[in-house]
Amino acid sequence: MTDQEATAIAALQEGDIQGLEQLVRLYQSQATRLAFQITANRHIAEDVVADAFITAFDRIAQYHTNRPFQPWFYRIVVNNSLKAVARGRRIGAAGEIELDQRASVSASPEDEAVRQEERDLVIEAIQRLPAKQRATLVLRYYLDMDVPMIAETLGVPRGTVKWRLYAARSKLRTSLNGESPETHAHTGGVAR
Amino acid sequence: MTSRDDILDSAIRQSLERWSMAGETGEVDLWPTIIQRLRAQGDAFEHVRPRRRWGLTRRAVGASLVCVLLAVCGITVAAAASPSVRDVLHRVVPLIDNGSVSTGTSAQGAPLYMSPVPHFSVFYPSDIPAEMVIRGTGHPLPGGLRNTKPSLFGLSYVCPTSTPSQACGSTDSRSLIQLFPPEPNGEAFFPAVVSPLVEKGIEAVWFGFHVLLPATTYVSIGEWSASQYAAPTSGETLTIGGEPAHLQQTPDEISITLVRGGTAIDLQTNLDRAGAISFTETLQMRRMDSRAQKTRP
């Protein structure tokens, strides 16, 4: 936990709203990206994250400072995101449209078009995953959380996390069978 | 892990990164939205106004045994046959007024008080959930004119009477309130752990009580003196430490604003804030009431 984070949490627990504001400044961008990964809608993601901060505000007395704040907060974000998805706020076309509008400035138009297509295939496959598997995948690959931290964030056993990751990767592998990862590697596309 | 797995992992990472960027059209600033929602839900505060402090650290405050808020207050409410809260709140009597003992002055000269830890007790049929809310206002300003920091540590717990064998609410030692399961006779004790408030130098606390009130429901607040509960006494005027406590009644709830810390506090400000909170809690009350209606025969 950073000093800035600890200060903000301590302030909030003492009833200082500025502590919440500091936490918002610290986490809003990444939390919004996280929520977007799950909801696939930027406006819903922002709505989810705003609510998550309010929830954190309400529950800050329940937070133990000897534990990392990030998983505690992201658990709220992820759960809110999953609820939003479950409420029928399904993945829409908005994200895809926004995605298509982005272009790299460092690659040729042809190369970028190929990479774009490859990424879109992966993204589409990810979006077809069940929400819980997608959330697990996002925490693992986007936030680089390890399994114990994911388990804490999602509030599920580690075995469940491992299973979800395994299942998600298996489905992705199957989905991308036509556009296998090896193909990506050869083309220098999505592989690093 | 095979290279095939590595490639897949890399593809996932890059795609997610790309996908996350697709959701951004600019810098995210959720703070105005959050503030607006907090205000809307009744957590009225004036975040724009800079926070002013006593200039004392928590340790210093604790070491000098200063501050504490509450004396003792109480209300006893007896429900009539109607479940209307209005009907049962017309008779408000204080339980005890122990007054408060000045324990000195703050570094800035404001009087500080020590009061007993209050005890809250709600009597209600065990099949009706009850909610209790405690909220605190901020630090009164030294020598000051008004409170600047409103309630920010409000907690509210709903006692799930469907599981009376378990303590309801949070039993976290750091929580401000601990709720205990209703006794077989329908009595539930809510000993408020106010020491965290004391440590924070909180000198004014707003209490809102929301109890679904069918017939024969009683709400009382009394003194909690470690091991015993002081029985209510009658009276018509609620005073705390010689000062009047502000009582607000609505058809759906009752709230009391206690003001401690001498005369430096802007009472009206507290009253207004309590009113703002009351509005929200009224809504909560109604929601709970709707839920409870289903459980009634």
Q: What is the mean pLDDT of chain A?
A: 75
Per-residue confidence band for A182, with pLDDT thresholds at 50, 70 and 90 = very low
- The HSE-up count of residue B219 (CA atoms within 13 Å, CB side) is 26
State ipTM.
0.70
pLDDT > 50? residue A134: yes
Q: A residues 72-91 near B, CB within 8 Å?
A: none
Q: Is A182 on the interface with B (CB under 8 A)?
A: yes
Mutate which of B16, B48, B151, B199 to disrupt the A interface (most A C-beta within 10 Å)? B16
- Residue ranges of chain B with pLDDT lower than 70? 1-4, 20-27, 39-297
The pLDDT assigned to A57 comes to 85
By C-alpha distance, the chain A residue nearest B9 is A141
Evaluate if residue A185 carries a pLDDT over 70: no
Does residue A4 sit at the B interface (CB-CB below 8 Å)?
A: no
The number of CA neighbours under 13 Å toward the Cβ of B106 is 28
CA distance A102 to A98: 7
Cα–Cα distance measured from residue A164 to residue B177, given in angstroms and rounded to the nearest whole number? 38
Instruction: Determine the distance in angstroms separating the CA of A59 from the nearest CA of chain B, rounded to an integer.
Output: 8
**pLDDT (0 to 100) of residue A171:** 87
CB B145 within 8 A of CB B262: no
Question: Per-residue pLDDT tens for B167-215?
Answer: 333 332 222 232 222 233 322 223 332 333 333 333 333 333 322 222 2
**What average pLDDT does the segment A78-88 reach?**
83
In the predicted structure, residue A169 carries a pLDDT above the cut 80? yes
Rounded average pLDDT over A131-155: 86
* Least-confidence region, from A3-7, A53-57, B80-84, B111-115: B80-84
- In this prediction, residues A35-57 reach a mean pLDDT of 86
Selecting from B16, B30, B154 the residue whose C-beta is nearest the C-beta of A53 gives B30
* For B200, nearest residue in chain A (alpha carbons): A14
For residue B211, give the nearest of B169, B252, B180, B174 by alpha carbon.
B252
The predicted pLDDT at position A36 comes to: 86
Which stretch of A10-19, A26-35, B160-169 has the lowest confidence by average pLDDT? B160-169
pLDDT score, position B166: 31
